[in-house]
A = this chain, B = another copy of it.
Amino acid sequence: MIVLAAVEAAPAHGYAIIDEIRRRSGGAFDLPEGTVYPVLHRLEASQLLSSHWEKSPIGRRRRVYALTKRGKASMVERRTSWVQFSSAVNGLLAEPRPCRT
């Protein structure tokens, strides 16, 4: 979901995605390449992302990923799931009262 979210605003390539995630999370998520690249491949295999090769302004090859229609739909679901999930966790964390109303 995090990777999808990073690509959501604008298509990007792996390295830029890692930077974007780090930036947007205020440094909280500093994902290594060994995490992100396999995720990108899995998301493409699931047809949530599509990719094509580009040349950077200097001439380096880049694989640029974009959300597919299914990817956008998936993000809608995932946002909902995340809200439910985090609410549930907050509920669990916010109830440490053995006695005394």
Contacts and interface: CB of A to CB of B under 8 A. Distances in A.
Interface residues of A, number: 29
A99 to B, nearest CB: 9
Interface string A57-101: 000000000000000000000010010111111111101111000
B28 A84 contact: yes
B9 A91 contact: no
A25 B95 CA distance: 10
Nearest to A87: B28
A6 interface: yes
Interface of A: 1-2, 5-6, 8-10, 21, 24-26, 28-29, 79, 82, 84-93, 95-98
